[in-house]
Amino acid sequence: MYALVESGTITKYFNYPKGFTLGELQYPADIFMKWSVEEKEAIGIHEVVFDDSNKKDEQWYINTNQSFAFADGTVTASYGTATPKPHADSLYTSQDNTDGLIPDDKDVGDVKTRGLKYNLIQILKSQVANTLSETDWYVIRNTEKSTAIPSAISTHRDAVRTKQASMETAITNAADTAALETLHTYTTTDGVQSRPLGELPVLES
């Protein structure tokens, strides 16, 4: 990406090479590839430098739009301060009621929008259901035919539910969005990836 700088002000952006007119002169698109950096900058064409230092993981944060600035001969595209996504549910308030913003089937104190905690727990419950579904047939067979469920299977299913409970507790007790992110962030130690939240047990084959 390039920007045209005139008298210290960015006046145009180029997302891809294309011809343009500057003053009374027309320049073809191929100058972007054929001209040197110095030649392009001599007419005000600067390659944009992207600064992503403020950009955060969009699973947890809402990033600002990029802003562009020209300083010290460089055009920089950067982000402002990211806003954490709400970690808790948002509830309808008395002010919402006064402003007529509460639907007919809702009331003050009801959930307005779900926060990250709720959504993460729903994802976890879905993962647990998928994990248990792999051994559900043992339970079905036991119900229909009274065939005993192998102890290893019962132990595994209990372990899954126990781990689910501890994971849900960790999510629920997270103080803020940053804490939720930390719970879910993988690190590598001695070639092994892990995260504070942990993982659901895997059935030994």
pTM over 0.85: no
**Distance, C-alpha 72 to centroid of its chain:** 33
If one counts every other C-beta atom within 10 angstroms of the C-beta of residue 117, the result is 19
Distance between CA atoms of residues 188 and 42, nearest Å:
47
Tens of pLDDT, residue by residue over 89-133, are 999 999 999 999 999 999 999 999 999 999 999 999 999 999 999
Specify the pLDDT at position 71.
Answer: 97
Whether residue 205 is predicted with pLDDT greater than 80 in this model: the reply is no
Amino acid at site 39: E
User: Cα(47)–Cα(31) distance, rounded to whole angstroms?
Assistant: 13
Place of tokens 């920089």: 76
Mean pLDDT of 149-159: 97
Which stretch of DSSP H or E encloses residue 194? Answer: strand 192-194
Per-residue pLDDT of 43-87, as tens digits, reads 999 999 999 999 999 999 999 999 999 999 999 999 999 999 999
Residue environment code for 144-183, b if the CB has 16+ CB neighbours within 10 A, otherwise e: eeeeeeeeebeebbeebeebbeebbeebeebeebeebbeb
Mean pLDDT value across residues 127-143 = 97
The Cα 60–Cα 20 span in angstroms is 40
Taking only the tens place, the pLDDT of each residue in 158-204 is 999 999 999 999 999 999 999 999 999 999 999 999 999 999 999 98
Residue 204's pLDDT is what? 84
Whole-number Å distance between alpha carbons of 132 and 124: 12
pLDDT of the residue at 7: 96
Residue type at 148? A
